C-alpha cells in the first residue's frame, strides 16, 4: 500500500530544498557569497535556520548544490548539435541557420536562474578560483565549443572549395553573441537592438562562410 503521508513529506522537503537553492542563488548574485549568511537565506525562504539545516549543513553545501544546478542548466541551454542529423546539416540554408541559433541565445537571455548564475560568477570570479574557472568555462569555453561543433559539421558535410579555419569561424559566431548577452544583462533596454544586430550578424556570417 502506498504511504501517502510519507510521499507528501518527501515532496514538501524537495520543494523546500529547491526554494533554498533558488533564494540562495538570488542573494549570492546580489550581495556576493561572503555577505550572505544562513539567517538571510532562511528569512528569504521563510523558514527558521534550524529548519534550513535539515536540508543543508551550511552555505558550503548549498553552494555545492548550486554548482551542480549550474552544470545541468548550462548543458540544457547551451548550443548543441546532437539533435541535428547529417541531412539537417546538409540541407540547412541561411534562414534555417539563423532561426536555429537565435532562440538558443534568447532562451539563455530570458532564463532568470541563468541570469542569477551569471551575476554570481561575475562577482565571485575575482574572489574565488573555482568561480573564476567556472566563469571562463560556462560563459566562454562551452558556447564556443558547441559552436565549433556545428561549424565543423557544416563545413565537413557541405565541402567548401577552400580550407577554412574552424576555430576562427566559431569565434566569429560566438563572441558577438556573448557580448550581446553581457550587455543585455546589465542594460535590459538594449535587448531589442542587440538581438537585431545579432540576427544581422548571423545572416552575414552565413553569406560569407557557408553560401
DSSP per residue over 177-196, as a string? HHHHHHHHHH-GGGHHHHHH
Residue the block writes with cell 552544470? 71
Whether the pTM exceeds 0.85: the reply is no
| Sign of torsion over alpha carbons 199, 203, 204, 209 | positive
Look up residue 65 and give its three cell numbers. 548544490
Q: What is the pLDDT of residue 168?
A: 95
Give Dmax over CA atoms of the chain in angstroms. 68
Q: Are 178 and 69 within 8 A, CB to CB?
A: no
Q: What is the pLDDT of residue 206?
A: 95
More confident site: 162 or 42:
42
**Distance separating alpha carbons of residues 125 and 153, to the nearest angstrom:** 33
Which residues lie below 8 Å from residue 23, measured CB to CB, with a gap of 6+? 41, 44, 45
**Distance separating alpha carbons of residues 174 and 143, to the nearest angstrom:** 7
Hey, which of 65-74, 119-128, 163-172 has the most confident mean pLDDT? 163-172
| Sign of torsion over alpha carbons 136, 167, 77, 192 | positive
For domain 1-61, the question of CATH label 1.10.10.60 is answered with yes
More confident site: 74 or 81:
74
**Distance separating alpha carbons of residues 129 and 66, to the nearest angstrom:** 16
Residue the block writes with cell 562577482? 123
Q: What is the pLDDT of residue 39?
A: 93
Q: What is the pLDDT of residue 193?
A: 97
Write down the mean pLDDT value for the chain. Answer: 85
Given a cut of 50, is residue 34 above it in pLDDT? Answer: yes
SS3 content of the chain, % helix, strand, coil (to 5): 80, 0, 20
Instruction: Provide the residue ranges of all domains of the chain, joining segments of one domain with +.
Output: 1-61, 78-209
Given a cut of 60, is residue 51 above it in pLDDT? Answer: yes
More confident site: 171 or 14:
171
Hey, which of 10-14, 17-21, 73-77, 125-129 has the most confident mean pLDDT? 17-21
Q: What is the pLDDT of residue 77?
A: 65
Region 151-168: mean pLDDT is 86
Amino acid at each position: 500500500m502506498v504511504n501517502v503521508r510519507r510521499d507528501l513529506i518527501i515532496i514538501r522537503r524537495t520543494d523546500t530544498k529547491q526554494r533554498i537553492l533558488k533564494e540562495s542563488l538570488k542573494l549570492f548574485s546580489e550581495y556576493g557569497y561572503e555577505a550572505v549568511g544562513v539567517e538571510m537565506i532562511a528569512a528569504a525562504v521563510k523558514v527558521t535556520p534550524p529548519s534550513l539545516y535539515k536540508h543543508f549543513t551550511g552555505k558550503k553545501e548549498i553552494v555545492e548544490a548550486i554548482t551542480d544546478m549550474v552544470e545541468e542548466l548550462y548543458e540544457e541551454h547551451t548550443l548543441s548539435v546532437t539533435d541535428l542529423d547529417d541531412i539537417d546539416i546538409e540541407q540547412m540554408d541561411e534562414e534555417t541557420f539563423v532561426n536555429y541559433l537565435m532562440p538558443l541565445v534568447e532562451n539563455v537571455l530570458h532564463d532568470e536562474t541563468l541570469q542569477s548564475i551569471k551575476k554570481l560568477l561575475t562577482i565571485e570570479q575575482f574572489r574565488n578560483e573555482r568561480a573564476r574557472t567556472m566563469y571562463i568555462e560556462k560563459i566562454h569555453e562551452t558556447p564556443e565549443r558547441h559552436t565549433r561543433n556545428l561549424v565543423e559539421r557544416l563545413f565537413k558535410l557541405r565541402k567548401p572549395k577552400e580550407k577554412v579555419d574552424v576555430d576562427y569561424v566559431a569565434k566569429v559566431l560566438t563572441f558577438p553573441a556573448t557580448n550581446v548577452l553581457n550587455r543585455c544583462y546589465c542594460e535590459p533596454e538594449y535587448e531589442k537592438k542587440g538581438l537585431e544586430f545579432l540576427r544581422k550578424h548571423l545572416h552575414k556570417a552565413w553569406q560569407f562562410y557557408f553560401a
